[in-house]
Amino acid sequence: MMKRLSALWLLMICMTGYAQQKHIVPGSVWHDTAGNPVNAHGGGILYYNGVYYWYGEIKKGVTWKVPNSNWENYRVNAGGVSCYTSRDLLHWTYKGVALPSVTTDSTADLHISKVIERPKVIYNKKTGKFVMWMHIDSQDYSYARSGVAVSDKPEGPFRYIGSVRPNGNMARDMTIFQDDNGKAYHFYSSEENQTMHICELTDDYLSHTTNDHRILIQQAREAPAVCKYNNRFYLFSSGCTGWSPNAASYATADNIMGQWTEHGNPCKGTDADSTYHAQSTYVLPVQGKKDTYIFMADRWNKLNLEASRYIWLPLAFDQEGKPAILWKDKWEVKN
């Protein structure tokens, strides 16, 4: 009886805990509204009709190292892409698998043996469709392609269309940036991860135009995350060290297809040199709050990828437009 009562007590404490969660606590286990850890890695966020949609890689089950790889090629079976919704950026409700992986056809891009990483979704006003782009790869990362899927609803299910090497180029880590004028751009690590590319997407966002521009040439940057502040474009990225963290850096441009200039690390203080043990994935403009941005990153646990955590921190700009990402043990998004 006593045992049952304490179990009930514990359950109540946990449930109240979820309901009353007031802060973002970077690096802690982030529970969804059902009490399960949020499983949405390498993610990105879409804001649509008053709701935030968080899409990310489902990392579930055993982590193993791909045999005979001379780098830290740890992986789990590709689990597809999850979707969570929130109105306050704190309480997230699981909406299910937006794009499932495939268990049967081992040649399929979405087969569990493949790599499905860094999904990003944008909404196309002209077509009324939600478009998801993601990094698709083989286990040894030699496939180096970008996959695209489409849906009529933000939570999916998304229909996978296929994958490409944009304009014939290798494409690994990526993000999508949608500008205020509706134009969308694909940022992707290319040329064996040595050089970043930006390619303008077609009006329906489903393919690449030939307006494809090389930036950060031979600077070996990945994990791109982009935002626009005061009419200037900011690109945050990491170095290429597998799942291990390294120092972030940011670049700016006044014209997205123009000259990009590197400026160095936006993180400050203890652990700034490892991006607080994390790697960028997205910059989220908070809706209705001018100049309020969240820097989203993944704290990978390479030996147990499912136990990787999220580092969300405020991204602030000073009067000269210089960004700073400072560590916070816990903080509140003021909506």
* Closest CB 42 distance from ligand DGJ, rounded Å: 5
Total of residues contacting ligand DGJ (CB under 6 A) = 9
End-to-end alpha-carbon separation of the chain, Å? Answer: 44
Residue whose token pair is 């296929």: 162
Strand partners, 227: 234
Q: Does 42 engage in binding with ligand DGJ (CB under 6 A)?
A: yes
Among 35, 162, 182, 242, binds ligand DGJ (CB under 6 A): 242
3-state secondary structure the chain: CHHHHHHHHHHHHHHHHHHHCCCECCCCCCECCCCCECCCEEEEEEEECCEEEEEEEEECCCCEECCCCCCCCEECCEEEEEEEEECCCCCCEEEEEEECCECCCCCCCCECCCEEEEEEEEEECCCCEEEEEEEEECCCCCCCEEEEEEECCCCCCCEEEEEECHHHCCCCCEEEEECCCCCEEEEEEECCCCEEEEEEECCCCCCEEEEEEEECCCCCEEEEEEEEECCEEEEEEEECCCCCCCCCEEEEECCCCCCCEEEECCEECCCHHHCCCCEEEEEEECCCCCCCEEEEEEECCCCCHHHCEEEEEEEEECCCCCEEEECCCCECCCC
Binding to ligand DGJ by CB under 6 A, coded x per residue (else -) over 201-230, reads ---------------------xx-------
Nearer to ligand DGJ, 129 or 143 (CB): 143
- Closer Cβ to ligand DGJ, 154 or 245, answer by number: 245
In whole angstroms, the minimum distance from the beta carbon of 332 to ligand DGJ comes to 29
Q: C-beta of 242: minimal distance to ligand DGJ in Å?
A: 4
Contacts of 258 (CB under 8 A, 6+ apart): none
Please pick, from the candidates 32, 109, 173, 212, the single residue that binds ligand DGJ as defined by CB under 6 A. 173
Contacts of 251 (CB under 8 A, 6+ apart): 215, 216, 234, 235, 237, 260, 261, 262, 263
Closest to ligand DGJ by CB, 82 or 124: 82
32 binds ligand DGJ (CB under 6 A): no
Closest separation between CB of residue 210 and ligand DGJ, Å?
27
Report the nearest approach of ligand DGJ to the CB of residue 24 (Å): 22
Beta 267-268 vs 323-326: how paired, if at all? parallel
Binders of ligand DGJ among 277-296, rule CB under 6 A?
Answer: 279
Q: Which residue has the closest beta carbon to ligand DGJ?
A: 242
As measured in angstroms, the least distance from the Cβ of 302 to ligand DGJ is: 8
Residues 297-326 that bind ligand DGJ (CB under 6 A): none
Least CB distance from residue 127 to ligand DGJ, whole Å?
29
Annotate each residue in 11-30 with x if it binds ligand DGJ (CB under 6 A) or - if it does not, as one string. --------------------
Q: How far is the CB of 67 from ligand DGJ (least distance, A)?
A: 15
Nearer to ligand DGJ, 130 or 141 (CB): 141
Question: Among residues 144 and 154, whose Cβ is nearest to ligand DGJ?
Answer: 144
- Residue 243 near ligand DGJ by CB under 6 A: yes
In the complex, the smallest distance separating the C-beta of residue 131 from ligand DGJ, rounded to whole angstroms, is 20
C-alpha Rg value of the chain to the nearest Å = 19
170 binds ligand DGJ (CB under 6 A): no
117 binds ligand DGJ, rule: CB under 6 A: yes
| Residues at the interface with ligand DGJ (CB under 6 A) | 42, 117-118, 173, 222-223, 242-243, 279
